[in-house]
Structure 1
Amino acid sequence: MDIDRLTELIITPGIPGREEMVRELITEYINDSAKYEYTVDDLGNIIVRIGGGEPVVGFAAHMDEIGLLITGSNKNGTLNFKKLGGIPDEILPGRHLDVVNSQGDLLDGVIGIVPPHLRTDNNRQNDLCIDVGANNEKELAELGIEVLDYAVFKKHISVLNNKYIAARSLDDRFGCSLLLDVLDNISTEKLKGTLILAWTVQEEIGLVGGQALSNRYLPELFFPVDSFACCSKMTGSVEVGKGPVLRMADSRSVASYNTGKDLLDLARAKNIPLQIGVTGGGTDGIPFMQKGVKTVPLSLAIKYLHSQVEYMSFEDYDNLYKLIMEMIYSL
């Protein structure tokens, strides 16, 4: 793991449909490697194609994170917003934000909260606004903030007990980082067939980038690299730190059973710890499944998903990297 690269990916803002800063960062890393060329499709997905012939195997991670889209302003200088992605209402009040204006500048902002001294039964979550210190709409304009600009939650990165990392947007910047690790270290001499690596857009609001990718490529096997929400009764025995996870079923799909068994056999043969789990949500694998492609989401168990403190294991990350490299050379 390149922790500096993961950190840079985490702190770079990019909500669904506004992934341009993340895309620019990833393409810079690809260019720095000077090994492979990439394409960017009309929707904004980044695609790297390596090798040739059969089989064609694809991996993808999504660039977008949950966040807030600016939808309008008020006479007192506050901003109205729409949530993009699954954001629990209870984490919004009293939150520090980075507001990205129309010039790409990051401005400080907050979501205020009605103090307990002033609360009534009529205080509602949908009354929340973003405050950037502007007292009127003229001052908002001077800050360069417009409708369709956006905000993300301020990010703090904690390393816990030298084993875990907790931060906003590990979902799915860990996946973006991991595929860059794969790209850095792939050996074309050992590669059989064609490898497709993709970094997709707008996953958090309906798998939009994955749908576009599936319209362009139909590999024999497809593996989205994404988070696995844990840990609860639904997710069974899956734990952070016990190995990567085969996400064999979620709210919207059931993965390829036989491909999952093959991956378990491979992991056992290579002494890589691997868990099997069922969780909620969905991944970019769904549009590929709908077109008949054998698909298994590859995941890391992440606690506190879609919060400020998404929590994962460094060791799980390294073991997922090892598994993917073994898969690429053996499938």
Structure 2
Amino acid sequence: MRDKALSLLKELTEAHSVPGHEDEVRAIFVDELSETGELSADGNGSVFCDCGGEGPRVLVAGHMDEVGFLVQSITPEGFLRFVPLGGWWEHSLLSQRVEVRTKSGDKIVGVVASMPPHFLSPAQRQQVQSIDQLFIDVGASSFDEVVHDFGINLGDPVAPVSAFTSMAKDDIYMAKAFDNRVGMAGAIHSGLLAGATDNRLILGGTVQEEVGLRGAKSAANFIKPDAVVVLEGPPADDTPGFPRMECQGQLGAGVQIRMFDSSAIGNPRFAEFAIETAKREGIPYQVTVRRSGGTDAGSFHLANEGIPCVVLGVPARYIHSHNAIIDLNDHLHMVALATALARQLDEKAVGELTRYL
């Protein structure tokens, strides 16, 4: 289980898949699950594997996209201006490497840059450079070189560059895009482990979560699930500046079970079902109530006639940056809980989630 989790996390985090351009992660999903069930995709590019079976339609899904950029313009001197896809904090951008994926599939390495501080006034040096003040340097010297020699065009997707890296402490790993490649790895892995279930298990990867939970809307209409287990890579809160007594996203403390955020109130019965399952299976967990943030549950729970959702997460430090950090054990606990839920959400269990009369 551990080796499979690591191989999936490495391949997925190093993939180039920003919102609207999730092709590389989609290809990994298809390759891993081609013999597990029937594959399909909706009109926006969200992808699914129907494992078959009888009973309620249970969807276990993550979102395929990571925060990134699109090329917005090219200067006469060969520098790229860009627009963000998803939430970026400008503090984390300067001097970081990125890759522009061209229409031919080539990846052109560049660096996010700005006017050097040596040429700024003392007051300007104290200010954070906004994204519209930044540019990407791909080593070109003209517009023609960028377009004709490098093959870069307006609208090309740009993703961070960061290798999947083992840190000094066992089971601690650093990479880009743990939000949400931990969820995608979890959806794939739990599907491979679940085996025969008393439901119709469907595995999924949605698009464009980072730009407004968009893919989950069409995914809900396409799959029509009776219950959804959303797998995520939420921000950890165990670093300096957070009261340790209030920590709900600590590395090494287990899978998160999210009760609330600004996009959705978690179905209380579903959350309790997940908690009781974790207790019964001996899976470490931490309950989370968030004041902000959101997940695909924000779209899924409002779709169709209303779909009960539960959100499971692997806490990750420094998400939406080039270098996030997770504890592998939290990921394995999420896979274990998602697998257990996939096996136990039979007709009776799913029916109880929305029986109000």
Are the equivalent residues in 2 in contact too, given 1:235–1:277 (CA < 8 A)?
no
Question: 2 CA distance for matches of 1:28 and 1:52?
Answer: 21
Would you say the 8 A contact 1:228–1:247 is kept in 2?
no
Structure 2 CA distance for aligned equivalents of residues 294 and 43 of structure 1 = 23
1:287 alignment partner in structure 2:
299
Deviation at 1:220, TM superposition (A): 2.5
Structure 1 gaps of 5+ residues are none
Matched with 2:214 is 208
Alignment partner of 1:176 is 2:184: yes
Superposed, 1:1-331 pairs within 5 Å as 1=2, 2=4, 3-31=6-34, 34-120=35-121, 121=123, 124-125=129-130, 126-141=132-147, 142-160=149-167, 161-188=169-196, 191-231=197-237, 232=242, 236-238=246-248, 239-279=250-290, 280-291=292-303, 292-331=306-345
Per-residue deviation, residues 75-97 of structure 1 (Å, max 9, x unmatched):
11111100000111111221211
The one-letter code of the counterpart of 1:45 is S
Comparing 148-157 with 234-243, greater Cα deviation is found at 234-243
**C-alpha distance in 1, partners of 2:324/2:88?**
13
Structure 2: runs of 5+ lacking an equivalent: 346-357
Q: Report how many aligned residue pairs link the two structures.
A: 327
SS of the residue corresponding to residue 225 of structure 1 reads strand
**Secondary structure of the structure 1 residue equivalent to 2:314:** strand
Task: Provide the C-alpha distance between the structure 1 equivalents of 2:175 and 2:208, rounded to a whole number of angstroms.
Answer: 20
- 2: distance between equivalents of 1:311 and 1:59? 24
- Are the aligned partners of 1:66 and 1:86 in contact in 2 as well (CA < 8 Å)? yes
Partner of 1:99, secondary structure, is strand
In the alignment, the residues of structure 1 paired with residue 318 and residue 124 of structure 2 have an alpha-carbon distance, to the nearest angstrom, of 30
Mark the CA change 1:253 to 1:37 in structure 2 (over 3 Å): closer, same or farther.
same
**Counterpart Cα distance in 2 of 1:301 and 1:25:** 23
> Which digits, 9 at most, give the CA deviation of each residue in 1:122-144, with x for residues without a partner?
68422211111111111012110
- Tell me which amino acid in the other structure corresponds to 1:227: G
* 3-state SS in 1 of match to 2:51: strand
Task: Give the Cα–Cα distance (whole angstroms) in 2 for the partners of residues 77 and 309 of structure 1.
Answer: 28
- Aligned pair in 2 of structure 1 residues 157, 60: CA closer, same or farther (>3 Å)? same
Partner-residue secondary structure (3-state), 1:174: helix
CA contact (8 A) 1:163 1:313 kept: yes
Q: 2:110, 2:59 → 1: CA distance? A: 39
Deviation of residue 229 (structure 1)?
1.5
CA contact (8 A) 2:194 2:340 kept: no
Report if aligned partners of 2:230, 2:296 keep a CA contact under 8 Å in 1.
yes
CA distance in 1, matches of 2:284, 2:92: 34
Amino acid at match of 1:111: V
TM-score, normalized by length of structure 1? 0.94
Q: CA deviation at 1:234?
A: 11
Aligned-partner residue type, residue 211 of structure 1: K
- 1:13 deviates by 0.4
Write out the 4+ residue segments of structure 1 that deviate beyond 6 Å after TM superposition: none
Report how far residue 170 of structure 1 moved: 0.8
Following superposition, the deviation at residue 156 of structure 1 comes to 2.7
Aligned mates of 1:220, 1:52 — CA distance in 2 = 14
Question: For each residue in 1:242-275, what CA deviation from the matched residue of structure 2 results, as whole angstroms up to 9, or x when unmatched?
Answer: 1101111112211011211121111111111111
Percent of aligned pairs with the same amino acid: 27
Question: Per-residue displacement from partner, 1:177-224 (whole Å, max 9, x unpaired)?
Answer: 111112222312xx1021111111101001111011112233222111
TM-score normalised per structure 2: 0.87
Separation in 2 of the partners of 1:96 and 1:318? 30
2:87 and 2:61 mapped to 1: Cα distance? 20
Partner AA of 1:206 in structure 2: G
**1:135 counterpart letter in structure 2:** S
Measured in 1, the distance between the counterparts of 2:20 and 2:177 equals 16
Query: How far off is 1:235 after superposition?
Result: 9.8
Letter in 2 for 1:246: I
Instruction: Quote the Cα distance in structure 2 between the aligned partners of 1:207 and 1:8.
Output: 24
How far is 1:44 from its partner?
Answer: 0.6
Is the CA contact (8 Å cut-off) linking 2:59 and 2:225 kept in structure 1? yes
Aligned alpha-carbon RMSD (Å): 1.8
Contact 1:236 1:277 in 2 (8 A): no
Matched residue SS, 2:60: strand
Q: Distance in 2 between matches of 1:53 and 1:286?
A: 27
Distance 1:237 1:71 in 2: 39
Alpha-carbon displacement from aligned partner over 1:269-291 (angstroms, at most 9, x marks no partner): 11111110023311111122113
Please give the alpha-carbon distance, in whole angstroms, between the structure 2 residues aligned to 1:16 and 1:7: 20
